[in-house]
Amino acid sequence: MRLSPVLVAGAVLCSAAEKKPPAGQAAGDRVEIHATLYGDKEALRRELGSDLGGHFLVVKVNIAPKGSEALAVSPDDFVLRSDRDGQRSGPLAPSQIAGRGALVISSRGGGGLMAENPGPVWGGYPGTGRPGRLGGESAVVGNAGESSAQGTVQSGSKEKENPLLATLKERALPNKTDTRPVSGLLYFLLEGKHKAKDLELLYSGPAGKLSMRFRP
């Protein structure tokens, strides 16, 4: 029996929609963490309603404390690392992606990620004292190559607020201390294309150190 083209197309669409993003987990004496990677444009659009220009990697984490002791949770407990070239990125604040002072990423020749001063905090929420600002007149992050992404900072004084900012803030992993599970999104920026199998999410916080690999 031959299936009609409509039925075949419907089956393909259903299969694509049901495809789960890569995920990983790790556990210690005080915490269990589940992480889901949204690394391609379609997955990002399904999760956020935007592909973020195709420049960012988003990880959804669920952090479940063990026992009755409250656990302090912060986005800056996490770092995303790539085996492909050793790049490491701490999470960006939503305002660095869609705020009035956000990085504007554009393709250019040359090497490394660039951003003009006054740069935003590179991987680290403002006020946390974690990774520093992009320094000098300009800064290059990443490996040299034939092409790269260039970031400039919007002054934003006369611009309307990006409606995406509210969504990014609402969905972001909060700074919180609780005995109950805490979940939210982490936003990372790595130069180039990176396969899920090459990415490692590192946790270093009050509950110790853990490592998560992403698998389909």
Query: Which tokens is 150 given?
Result: 């260039």
pLDDT grade for 26, boundaries at 50, 70 and 90: very high
Tell whether 104 is covered by a domain. yes
pLDDT digits (tens, 9 = 90+) for 55-114: 899 999 999 999 999 999 999 999 999 999 999 999 999 999 987 656 555 444 444 443
Domain hosting 95: range is 21-213
- How much is the average pLDDT of 25-40? 97
| Model pLDDT, residue 2 | 56
| Model pLDDT, residue 159 | 62
Tell whether 5 is covered by a domain. no
Tell whether 203 is covered by a domain. yes
Q: Is the pLDDT of residue 213 over 60?
A: yes
Q: Is the pLDDT of residue 202 over 50?
A: yes
Tell whether 10 is covered by a domain. no
Tell whether 151 is covered by a domain. yes
Tell whether 202 is covered by a domain. yes
Q: How many domains are there within the chain?
A: 1
Tell whether 9 is covered by a domain. no
Distance CA 200, CA 197 (A): 8
pLDDT digits (tens, 9 = 90+) for 126-153: 444 443 333 333 333 333 333 334 444 4
Tell whether 8 is covered by a domain. no
- How far are the Cα atoms of 32, 80, 97, 115, 150 from residue 83, in angstroms, in the given order? 24, 10, 24, 24, 22
